[in-house]
Amino acid sequence: MVTTDEKLVIYNAIDKSINVNKISKHAVSIIRTLQSKNFSAYIVGGAVRDLILKLEPKDFDIVTDAKPCEIKALFPKSRVIGRRFLLVHVKKGGAFYEVSTFRSGVSKNYIFQSHPLKKNNRKKYSTGDSEFGTIHEDAFRRDLTINALYYDPVKEQVYDFTGGVKGLLDKKVMIIGPPEVRFTEDPVRIIRVIRITAKLNFQIPSDIERHIFNKFDLLKDVSKSRLFDESLKMFLHGQGLASYELLRRFNGLKYFVYLSKKNRINKNSNQLFEVMLKSTDLRVKQKKSVSPHFLFAVLLWPSLLIQVSKLEKERSVVRKLMSISSKTVLTKQASIISIPKRYLFKIIDIWNLQIPLVERRAKDHQFIINHPCFRAAYDLILLRETIGEKLNDAGRWWTEYQKGNKCDQTKLLHEKAYNEKNYKLNTHFYE
């Protein structure tokens, strides 16, 4: 645990091998403008961490002792946003840079208070997070030591109040303040620890691991829409597989995905998720598009088939069973996190296309291949075959059909395929 007794350590950028060419010239310009008016200003957080680790910073957040109204006055092309705490978005070079004022609260006293509107009257720690403060107070109200580093690009110095540089050297994710308090204060910090640990391939100290196990259940009280956003940050930003492995270690996937069979994941389900996330990470690395609807279509696929298996005794047509089961699974998923409707419709389309993709009836092929969700549904077929599902060689067939000319396609259409009467889903594959 890091306390406020830590002393400020100043490092020269040269000592930390910071590549100044990786720093946004527009962020530096904003800082120079603020400093020219006798305000202090720094790049803060993940950008400083990534610069020290010789990674490419994703964005450059700026912090200053100037108040929002003073920042706004200095930058005509800016806008003030936020409710709980005001931030300023400064437009430079066609992009917006977030500029915030030093905050106080966490570094002084934790106020223990009950929230009567919370379920079970759960108590929560409150911090005076909406008060302006000093750079020292601002550092100690942050979550992690490695994200509480400040860089002055003018003086080329790194300011470390919490031992963040040591954390980077030791490859450990350390919490600022008592972990049990910080996780209770905002349970999403648990997700942040997991995501950053996965991204940097760092270690979580055993005492913090213990508190994560103890506090994971608090995520049930977090906004479902916020959990959806956090799930995309975990799974669609290049470290999805590593994040998934950490979630499994903490038995935490159930807080993001509806899982049948008492929240257990069998070998085939686990393999499906791993193959999908490995492929997704590669696409992110290659700067290719990734989609939330495909992510959840795959993560919920085993639960969908298990739900279908419960209805099979009704002897209804498989498509009808799929339709009923889809509604059931998505309703249960909605009680965990809130997936926007625009994605829900696409998830259903991906699932509905699985049967005709395997059946390969000649009269359907043009409709299927022109469907907006064809590519995602086809990718799910490939994933299912990769882990051993028997799908009538559908992956090979549709691959050749897409690549072939009209003559090749005609030959493919004459291949023997399933028909609606004899095709059945292997609903026990994921049980």
What residues act catalytically?
59, 61, 143
- Residue for token digits 């049948």? 260
Token output for 342: 């625009």
What does 181-241 look like in DSSP terms, one character per residue? HHHHH-THHHHHHHHHHHHHT-B--HHHHHHHHHHGGGGGGS-HHHHHHHHHHHHSSS-HH
- How many Cα atoms sit within 13 Å of 144 on the Cβ side? 29
Find tokens 């999805």 and name the residue: 240
- Which tokens in the block code for residue 39? 């305000």
Classify 396 as helix, strand or coil.
helix
244 within 8 A of 250, measured Cβ to Cβ: no
Residue 93 burial (CB < 10 Å; 0-12/13-18/19+)?
Answer: exposed
Torsion of CA 142, 146, 152, 158, to 10 degrees: 130
Residue with token string 């009280």? 221
Q: Please give the single-letter amino acid code of residue 422.
A: N
Residues with Cβ within 8 Å of residue 431, at least 6 apart in sequence = 261, 266, 306, 309
Q: What are phi and psi of 384, to 5 degrees?
A: -65, -40
Residue with token string 């957040």? 61
3-state helix, strand, coil split of the chain in percent (to 5) is 50, 10, 35
5 touches 160 (CB < 8 A): no
Work out the angle between the directed axes of helices 301-311 and 318-334 (0-180°, nearest 10).
Answer: 130
Using CA atoms, how far residue 192 sits from 58, 175, 184, 233, 246, in Å, is 16, 11, 14, 9, 12
Distance of CA 351 to the CA centre of its chain: 23
Q: Is 2 helix (H, G, I), strand (E, B) or coil?
A: strand
